[in-house]
């Protein structure tokens, strides 16, 4: 018996597919015998195929059947004999063409709703019944479902109008009305920095406040509420201690769980044996589960203790920028009143739906995104289902599903808590922006397929969701992250890892770099676009590894062999299994060096020569050319880093007292170069730039004492 066809059919309605196969499909040859899940196609008795007798004495017969998993339908065709069935190729072609015509890709979107007439539960129950059912079991489910709906609508609006983004940032050449508004705001307190976005924003805001800056944090939601949980490793989070934001003892209080090991495994039942991979163990990747809300509250308290202010339930409306200040118009949501606040610098930390990021980058704000949904589950899993000493870093339990390769993450939390995510890597596409609510319906449907559980016995604590963006930068100036007196950080700046897409981890890894450079710019009033746009966490090794996330995206409207992406993942992760543990650790944490990258790429090509063709088919010539530019830039950066890293930091230490005071713009540029050559190195050879950490802490202590 031999498999001769395997198709993914992008519909959850398996019954309709089965009915079409049994009643509508005309094979054009052979006798069709219906079976419970499809049909058998055989040569009528008394006839033989053109090939004559079957040596194995097996029936000359095809078996066609369908099944359902991941809210998706799959079809396989098996031939009983080794010899082809008469007109087999034509039958398979007709079957594939007929199915693709009858069951094409469909990209549904949430219905338009009027919440003044009905609740969010009533509005969505007919379209997303399981999503409504389980959100109703969550403590703040109605609010959170409204938030998920709002987030998806805002994301779709930005994706579908990339050439005409809503203007929210205005320069000094504004209208008379805007000039009057700026004059009216002149009596407001003047802040050094105004942050918009209280999740990743409060971390950076707290550090800057401890350095002595007067900081205002604006947050649309009630402060401290999170729709994501955060995981990180101990060596990465150490930067928070190094910067003086928390003490080692305080850090321990926000760690909900430190698990023993993390697993990486991709479905390989449909892969050839050479492309099957054992579990990759990564015990030091994302193995600290943080109490995110406690962490936010702690950062908020430190911000306020350092003189900063927090204004929550306050929505950003617009920003007016002139030569001396930025005036921000905001709306207090409970009272629906608008006001203006002013400051020297505005920091956009609003995340992937930031209207500022869309305006600054026009039609290319983001190249990719991970629509991510999930939940924190307090209890309800049987003890034999999961040991909470372990986590799933990356896991798939099936092949391509309705045009997406779904991937799970599972992280233990405090006590019996488990945080579970479902996501997929996705191209930003106006026809198919990516749906959180569709993903949630998937999540609640297929969670028992992933981890055996009785859904009605689970105790739901809160949902976790969001759009995590990615940007395929060609070089360090490819993406706009700044305007005069304005800079973006976090997801708004597409600061993320190309494999695990952890914006929190990327920000924490680069927090010292961003803080030092911004401190230098503020101290010397270097707040124009040309100076602020240098302050970014670009790494040439991250820009080159985006090809891995690109290889996990199913292009909109295209059909791939269902097992294709799992085959690619198993190829590469199988190589990492055979490497020393630190290689996988460095790769996932954005510390892969030039030599290691090339060695692994060559090994992957030898192991699976078809990989190059698959990448060509997925990426296309345009993106491959862009990637080649990234690759050559990666090599150039590696060479420059090798030449400079041994002496450049010491040189900067020596000239700092003289150069910074006389030529601050040049000093900022050299400091940027210093961080660029030091970032992204493997942990064994990683050297943090020596110019700044001690001086930052000393300045912080001095300013606080003063």
Longest dimension (CA), the chain: 101
pLDDT, mean of residues 27-42: 93
373 and 509 both lie in a single domain: no
The predicted-structure confidence for 196-215, as pLDDT tens digits, reads as follows 988 889 999 999 999 999 99
Q: How much of the chain is helix, strand and coil, in % rounded to 5? A: 40, 20, 40
53 and 173 both lie in a single domain: no
* 681 located within any domain: no
- Residue 245 has what DSSP assignment? S
d(CA 592, CA 346): 33
- What is the reported pLDDT for 125? 96
Query: Do 349 and 489 form a contact (C-beta atoms < 8 A)?
Result: yes
Both tokens of 45, joined, read 């008795």
The number of folded domains in the chain is 3
> 362: helix, coil or strand?
helix
Both tokens of 661, joined, read 């005071």
* 496 located within any domain: yes
* 706 located within any domain: no
Q: Which of 618, 653, 679 is the last residue of a domain?
A: 618
379 and 450 both lie in a single domain: yes
d(CA 607, CA 144): 46
d(CA 412, CA 383): 13
Q: Phi, psi (5° rounding) for residue 631?
A: -65, -45
* 140 located within any domain: yes
270 and 381 both lie in a single domain: yes
Q: Over the range 627-665, which residues count as b (16 or more CB within 10 Å of their CB) and which as e?
A: beebbebbeebbeebeebeeebbeebeeebeeebeeebe
* 611 located within any domain: yes
Q: Which of 538, 565, 588 is the last residue of a domain?
A: 538
62 and 196 both lie in a single domain: no
Nearest residue to 310 via CA among 223, 246, 245, 213:
223
d(CA 205, CA 211): 10
d(CA 393, CA 33): 45
Query: Do 545 and 604 form a contact (C-beta atoms < 8 A)?
Result: no
Strand partners, 90: none
517 and 378 both lie in a single domain: no
28 and 77 both lie in a single domain: yes
d(CA 169, CA 369): 24
Range with the lowest mean pLDDT among 36-45, 296-305, 358-367, 547-556?
A: 358-367
DSSP assignment of 142-193 = HHHHHHHHHHHHHHHHHHH-SSSPPP-EE-SS--HHHHHHHHHGGGSPEEEE
> 648: helix, coil or strand?
helix
pTM: 0.84
The predicted-structure confidence for 551-607, as pLDDT tens digits, reads as follows 788 999 999 999 999 999 999 899 999 999 999 988 888 788 889 989 998 999 899
Q: Where are the beta strands (DSSP E) in 472-553?
A: 482-483, 486-488
Is the pLDDT reported for residue 178 higher than 70? no
d(CA 567, CA 610): 10
Q: How confident is the model at residue 188 (pLDDT cuts 50, 70, 90)?
A: low
Q: Where are the beta strands (DSSP E) in 17-129?
A: 31-35, 38-42, 61-69, 72-79
Both tokens of 318, joined, read 């617009």
282 and 229 both lie in a single domain: no
244 and 339 both lie in a single domain: yes
CATH number of the domain within which 9 lies: 3.30.310.50
> 280: helix, coil or strand?
strand
216 and 312 both lie in a single domain: yes
* 88 located within any domain: yes
Q: Which of 505, 538, 571 is the last residue of a domain?
A: 538
Is the pLDDT reported for residue 328 higher than 80? yes
* 663 located within any domain: no
Nearest residue to 82 via CA among 63, 46, 65, 57:
57
The predicted-structure confidence for 339-377, as pLDDT tens digits, reads as follows 999 999 999 988 766 888 778 776 555 677 889 999 999
Nearest residue to 474 via CA among 351, 370, 624:
624
Per residue, the 3-state secondary structure of 391-405, as one string, reads EEEEECCCCCECCEC
The predicted-structure confidence for 647-687, as pLDDT tens digits, reads as follows 999 999 999 989 999 999 999 999 999 988 877 666 543 33
Q: H helices of 65-117, where? A: 88-102
Query: Do 238 and 284 form a contact (C-beta atoms < 8 A)?
Result: no
d(CA 254, CA 289): 9
Nearest residue to 325 via CA among 188, 212, 121:
188
Q: How confident is the model at residue 160 (pLDDT cuts 50, 70, 90)?
A: confident
CA separation, residue 447 to residues 65, 147, 186, 444 (Å): 25, 22, 54, 6
Q: Strands 288-290 and 231-232, how do they pair?
A: antiparallel
d(CA 520, CA 660): 9
Strand partners, 309: 216
* 41 located within any domain: yes
- Dihedral, 115, 117, 120, 126 alpha carbons, nearest 10: -130
Query: Do 325 and 342 form a contact (C-beta atoms < 8 A)?
Result: yes
Distance from chain centroid for Cα 147: 19
Distance from chain centroid for Cα 418: 20
68 and 194 both lie in a single domain: no
- What is the reported pLDDT for 619? 79
The predicted-structure confidence for 71-111, as pLDDT tens digits, reads as follows 999 999 999 888 899 999 999 999 999 999 999 999 999 99
CATH number of the domain within which 242 lies: 3.50.50.60
d(CA 2, CA 79): 5
- Structural domain boundaries enclosing 487: 169-254+292-363+472-538
Query: Do 367 and 427 form a contact (C-beta atoms < 8 A)?
Result: yes
578 and 600 both lie in a single domain: yes
- What is the reported pLDDT for 29? 86
């Amino acid at each position: 018996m031999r498999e001769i066809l395997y198709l993914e059919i992008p519909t959850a309605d398996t019954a309709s597919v089965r009915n079409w196969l049994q009643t509508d499909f005309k094979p054009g040859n052979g006798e069709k015998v219906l079976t419970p899940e499809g049909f058998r196609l055989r040569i009528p008795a008394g006839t033989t195929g053109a090939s004559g007798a079957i040596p194995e004495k097996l029936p000359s017969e095809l078996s066609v059947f369908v099944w359902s998993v991941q809210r998706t339908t799959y079809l396989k065709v098996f031939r009983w004999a080794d010899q082809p069935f008469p007109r087999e190729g034509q039958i398979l072609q007709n079957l594939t063409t007929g199915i693709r015509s009858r069951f094409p890709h469909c990209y549904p979107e949430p219905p338009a709703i009027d919440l003044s007439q009905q609740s969010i539960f009533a509005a969505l129950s007919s379209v997303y019944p399981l999503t409504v059912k389980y959100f109703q079991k969550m403590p703040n489910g109605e609010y959170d479902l409204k938030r998920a709906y709002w987030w998806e609508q805002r994301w779709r609006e930005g994706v579908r109008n990339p050439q005409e983004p809503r203007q929210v940032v205005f320069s000094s050449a504004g209208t008379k009305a805007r000039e009057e508004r700026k004059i009216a705001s002149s009596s407001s307190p003047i802040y050094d920095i105004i942050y918009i976005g209280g999740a990743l924003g409060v971390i950076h805001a707290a550090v800057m406040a401890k350095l002595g800056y007067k900081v205002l944090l604006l947050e649309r939601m009630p402060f401290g509420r999170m729709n994501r949980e955060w995981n990180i490793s101990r060596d990465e989070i150490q930067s928070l201690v190094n910067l003086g934001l928390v003490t080692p003892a305080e850090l321990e209080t926000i760690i909900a769980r430190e698990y023993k090991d993390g697993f990486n495994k991709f479905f390989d039942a449909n892969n050839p044996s050479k492309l099957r991979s054992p579990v990759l163990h990564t015990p030091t990747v994302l193995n600290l589960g943080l109490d995110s809300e406690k962490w936010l509250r702690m950062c908020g308290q430190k911000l306020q203790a350092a003189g900063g202010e927090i204004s929550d339930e306050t929505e950003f409306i617009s920003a007016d920028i002139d030569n001396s200040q930025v005036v921000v118009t905001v709306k207090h949501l409970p009272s629906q009143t608008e006001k203006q606040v002013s400051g020297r610098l505005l920091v956009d930390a609003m995340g992937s739906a930031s209207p500022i990021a869309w305006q600054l980058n026009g039609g290319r704000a983001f190249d990719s995104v991970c629509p991510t949904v999930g939940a924190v589950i307090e209890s309800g899993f049987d003890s034999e289902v999961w040991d909470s000493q372990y986590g799933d870093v990356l896991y798939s339990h099936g092949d391509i599903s309705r045009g997406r390769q779904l991937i799970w993450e599972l992280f233990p939390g405090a006590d019996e808590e488990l945080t579970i995510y479902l996501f997929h890597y996705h191209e930003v596409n106006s026809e198919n922006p990516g749906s959180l609510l569709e993903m949630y319906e998937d999540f609640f449907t297929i969670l028992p397929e992933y981890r055996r559980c009785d859904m009605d016995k689970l105790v739901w604590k809160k949902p976790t969701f969001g759009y995590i963006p990615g940007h395929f930068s060609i070089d360090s100036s490819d993406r706009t992250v700044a305007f005069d007196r304005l800079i973006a950080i976090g997801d708004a700046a597409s600061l993320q890892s190309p494999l695990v897409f952890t914006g929190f981890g990327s920000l924490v890894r680069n927090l010292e770099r961003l803080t030092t450079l911004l401190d230098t710019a503020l101290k010397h009033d270097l707040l124009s676009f040309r100076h602020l746009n240098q302050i970014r966490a670009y790494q040439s090794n991250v820009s080159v590894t985006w090809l891995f996330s690109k290889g996990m995206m199913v292009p909109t409207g295209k059909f791939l062999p269902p097992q294709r992406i799992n085959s690619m993942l198993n190829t590469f992760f199988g190589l990492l299994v055979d490497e020393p543990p630190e290689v996988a650790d460095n790769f996932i944490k954005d510390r892969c060096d030039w030599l290691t990258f090339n060695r692994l790429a060559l090994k992957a090509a030898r192991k699976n020569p078809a990989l190059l063709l698959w990448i060509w088919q997925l990426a296309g010539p345009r993106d491959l050319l862009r990637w080649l530019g990234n690759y050559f830039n990666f090599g150039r950066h590696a060479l420059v880093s090798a030449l400079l890293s041994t002496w450049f930091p010491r040189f900067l230490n020596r000239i700092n007292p003289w150069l910074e005071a006389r030529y601050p713009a040049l000093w900022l540029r050299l400091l940027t170069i210093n961080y660029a050559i030091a970032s992204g190195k493997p942990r064994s050879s990683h050297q943090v730039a020596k110019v700044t950490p001690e001086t930052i802490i000393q300045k912080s202590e001095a300013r606080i004492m003063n």
